[in-house]
């Protein structure tokens, strides 16, 4: 294969053992040095951790996050937005996402699944409501309530809520999850009214919302919305305050305006990524990716015809060809399947991933001539047209959901 744009020929690296040893002697121990490029690379320290200058990193585009929230708000008629920032903020870093989104007026709160992420938001200075959508025990509940974290409830735990409320001397705000057809979690809709009446009738409990999760089935979704509304209407008719009804996910932004209700609970679209390829063509929302995965070329070498690369000799050079090794692998979140068509951008040209993606390394084919050298920036995906996360995933038939949410949380995040 050839790159999208074939660079001009460069002189290959001829640094020998003497040059390498001299460079090492002249370079401080904490610096990595590319003897071929003759450019010292300083280590990067973030949050007290020293990273090699060749380690991959994630970039967070804060302005695109804000743009996407504005576009979603317009789409839903100004309704409040519960921003879902689970799974390390969809790869951006939960605190990075939380701090940026909290400042936006239309964002009424933030939702996570793990207690540790909810706590991280509070310790990171986020003050807006945080909804904990994952399971918890009594000690977890006490920790959450002490930090003003709102639990999502769907089982008869009224007595537990009373005990914790009495111990902390606080009223506990909750959202109640209804299973309207998804079958994953939530009180079955047939039993919902009984549970809600019990919880809402307790003086130490305040119901702030009723929610459900749509199955993304075109026939079932409208029925799920109807079931949630029926429960809400019945209980409101009895004089109970059940708070806001919310069901709409990023998928529903495109397919089900009837699900917007009192608030939308959106994840993927906030990060500028279309949940389905067809949504990109609809023109309903202008979403701009807010996340990029980048690294640096670690090594450039020439394979002669017939030579191989990768475990199991997965790649065989049909002709003399230059390849580059990137220190990014499936341990960093790059899917192994990306070796079946994925493209990486270096110097404005896109190059195919070859062989097999290992835990810490990926190889790309540069062509029979190249000007790529060690230290050059390599982009797996970003916000540029043609290298969006959706573009990268589509090239190997993968799911965009397998990209951002699988990014290793130990990689440094740079907010730009």
Bridging pattern class, strands 149-153 and 107-112? unpaired
pLDDT on residue 409 = 94
Q: Please indicate, yes or no, if residue 25 is contained in any of the structural domains.
A: yes
Handedness of CA 371, 377, 380, 384 (dihedral sign): negative
Do 129 and 187 lie in one domain? The reply is yes
Do 301 and 318 lie in one domain? The reply is yes
Q: Provide the CATH number for the domain around residue 47.
A: 2.40.37.10
Do 55 and 85 lie in one domain? The reply is no
CA 376 from chain center: how many Å? 25
- 228, 260, 282 - which closes a domain: 282
pLDDT on residue 7 = 33
Rounded to an integer, what distance in angstroms lies between the CA atom of residue 104 and that of residue 81? 10
- 228, 252, 282 - which closes a domain: 282
Q: Which domain holds residue 243?
A: 62-282
Q: Please indicate, yes or no, if residue 134 is contained in any of the structural domains.
A: yes
- Tens of pLDDT, residue by residue, the chain (416 residues): 444 443 332 333 333 323 333 333 333 222 222 323 323 345 566 667 788 889 999 999 999 999 999 999 999 999 999 999 999 999 999 999 999 999 999 999 999 999 999 999 999 999 999 999 999 999 999 999 999 999 999 999 999 999 999 999 999 999 999 999 999 999 999 999 999 999 999 999 999 999 999 999 999 999 999 999 999 999 999 999 999 999 999 999 999 999 999 999 999 999 999 999 899 999 999 999 999 999 999 999 999 999 999 999 999 999 999 999 999 999 999 999 999 999 999 999 999 999 999 999 999 999 999 999 999 999 999 999 999 999 999 999 999 988 999 999 999 999 99
Do 349 and 271 lie in one domain? The reply is no
Do 272 and 162 lie in one domain? The reply is yes
Handedness of CA 29, 31, 34, 40 (dihedral sign): negative
Q: Please indicate, yes or no, if residue 46 is contained in any of the structural domains.
A: yes
pTM equals: 0.87
18: part of which helix (H) or strand (E)?
helix 17-26
Do 108 and 241 lie in one domain? The reply is yes
pLDDT on residue 5 = 41
Q: Please indicate, yes or no, if residue 10 is contained in any of the structural domains.
A: no
User: Please, are residues 122 and 96 in contact by the beta-carbon 8 Å criterion?
Assistant: no
Do 390 and 270 lie in one domain? The reply is no
pLDDT on residue 294 = 97
Q: Is 295 helix (H, G, I), strand (E, B) or coil?
A: strand
pLDDT on residue 45 = 62
**Residue keyed to tokens 């404005």:** 348
Q: Please indicate, yes or no, if residue 11 is contained in any of the structural domains.
A: no
Report the 3 state secondary structure along 225-262. Answer: HHHHHHHHHHHHHCCCCCCEEECCCHHHHHHCHHHCCC
Rounded to an integer, what distance in angstroms lies between the CA atom of residue 274 and that of residue 289? 9
Q: Please indicate, yes or no, if residue 376 is contained in any of the structural domains.
A: yes
Q: What residues pair up with 110 in beta bridges, in sequence order? A: 83, 130
């Amino acid at each position: 294969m050839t790159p999208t744009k074939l660079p001009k020929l460069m002189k290959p690296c001829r640094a020998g053992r003497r040059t390498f040893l001299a460079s090492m002697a002249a370079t401080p121990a904490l610096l990595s040095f590319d003897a071929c490029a003759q450019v010292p690379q300083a280590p990067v320290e973030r949050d007290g951790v020293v990273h090699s200058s060749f380690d991959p990193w994630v970039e967070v585009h804060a302005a695109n996050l804000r743009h996407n929230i504005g576009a979603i708000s317009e789409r839903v008629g100004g309704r409040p937005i519960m921003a879902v920032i689970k799974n390390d903020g969809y790869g951006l870093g939960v605190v990075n996402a939380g701090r940026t989104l909290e400042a936006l007026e239309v964002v009424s709160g933030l939702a996570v699944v793990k207690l540790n992420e909810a706590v991280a938001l509070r310790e990171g200075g986020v003050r807006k409501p945080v909804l904990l959508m994952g399971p918890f025990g009594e000690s977890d509940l006490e920790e959450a309530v002490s930090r003003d974290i709102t639990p999502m409830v769907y089982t008869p735990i009224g007595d537990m809520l009373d005990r914790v409320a009495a111990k902390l001397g606080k009223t506990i705000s909750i959202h109640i999850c209804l299973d309207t057809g998804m079958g994953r979690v939530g009180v079955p809709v047939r039993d919902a009214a009984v549970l809600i009446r019990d919880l809402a009738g307790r003086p130490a409990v305040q119901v702030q919302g009723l929610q459900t999760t749509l199955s993304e089935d075109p026939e079932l979704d409208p029925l799920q919305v109807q079931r949630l509304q029926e429960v809400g209407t019945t209980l409101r008719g009895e004089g109970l305050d059940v708070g806001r009804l919310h069901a709409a996910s990023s998928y529903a932004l495109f397919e089900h305006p009837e699900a917007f209700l009192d608030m939308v609970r959106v994840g993927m679209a906030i990060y500028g990524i279309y949940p389905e390829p067809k949504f990109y063509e609809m023109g309903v929302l202008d979403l701009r990716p807010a996340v990029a995965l980048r690294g640096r070329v670690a090594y450039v070498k020439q394979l002669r015809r017939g030579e191989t690369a990768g475990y199991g000799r997965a790649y065989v050079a049909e002709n003399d060809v230059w390849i580059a090794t990137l220190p990014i692998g499936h341990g960093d979140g790059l899917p192994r399947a990306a070796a079946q068509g994925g493209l990486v951008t270096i110097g404005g040209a896109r190059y195919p991933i070859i062989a097999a993606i290992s835990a810490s390394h990926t190889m790309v084919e540069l062509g029979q001539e190249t000007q790529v050298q060690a230290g050059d920036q390599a982009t797996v995906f970003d916000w540029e047209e043609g290298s969006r996360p959706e573009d990268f995933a589509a090239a190997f038939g993968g799911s965009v959901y397998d990209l951002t949410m699988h990014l290793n949380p130990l990689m440094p995040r740079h907010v730009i």
